[in-house]
Copies of this chain bind each other. A is one copy, B any other.
Amino acid sequence: MFELGVVYRNIQRTDAATADGLAKFGSATVHEAMGRVGLMKPHMRPIYAGAQVSGTAVTVLLHPGDNWMMHVVAEQIRPGDIVIAAITAECTDGYFGDLLATSFMARGARALVIDAGVRDVKTLTEMGFPVWSKAISAKGTIKATLGSVNIPVVCAGALVHPGDVVVADDDGVVVVPRALAGKTLEAAAAREANEGEKRARLAAGVLGLDMYKMREPLERAGLNYID
Report the bound CA distance from A122 to B130 in whole Å: 15
Complex contacts, A227 vs chain B, CB 8 Å: 9-10
Check B42–A117 contact: CB distance below 8 A: yes
CB atoms of A121 and B224 under 8 A apart: no
Contacts of A195 in B (CB 8 A): 99
A28-B94, A117-B42, A218-B146 in contact; A136/B226 too (CB < 8 A)?
no
Given contacts A49-B122, A145-B144, A146-B222, contact A136 B172 (CB under 8 A): yes
Partner of A139, one of B49, B88, B122: B88
Does A157 contact B159, Cβ atoms closer than 8 Å?
no
- Bound form: Cα–Cα A169–B205 in Å: 27
Q: Is A158 an interface residue (CB 8 A)?
A: yes
How distant is the Cα of A34 from the Cα of B139 in the complex, in angstroms?
A: 11
Question: Which of chain B's residues have a CB closer than 8 A to the CB of A81?
Answer: none
A interface residues with partner B (beta carbon < 8 Å): 1-2, 4-10, 26-28, 30-32, 34-39, 41-42, 45, 48-50, 52, 61, 63-66, 68, 70-72, 74-75, 88-94, 97-100, 102-103, 105-107, 117, 119-122, 125, 135-140, 142-146, 152, 154, 157-159, 169-172, 174, 177, 195, 198-199, 202-205, 207-209, 212, 214, 218, 221-227
CA distance A224 to B151 in the complex (A): 13
Residues of B within 8 A of A42 (CB): 90, 92, 117, 135-137, 139
A121–B170 CB distance below 8 A? yes
Q: Would you call A209 and B74 a contact (CB within 8 A)?
A: yes
Question: For the complex formed by this chain, how many copies does it contain in all?
Answer: 6
Residues of B within 8 A of A36 (CB): 4, 88, 139-140
Chain B residues closer than 8 Å to A35, beta-carbon distance? 2, 4
Q: Which residues of B contact A135 (CB under 8 A)?
A: 42
Whether A203 pairs with B106 at a CB distance below 8 angstroms is: yes
Least CB distance from A23 to B in Å reads: 13
Contact of A204 (CB < 8 Å), options: B71, B106, B158? B106
Contact of A89 among B48, B65, B120 (CB under 8 A): B65
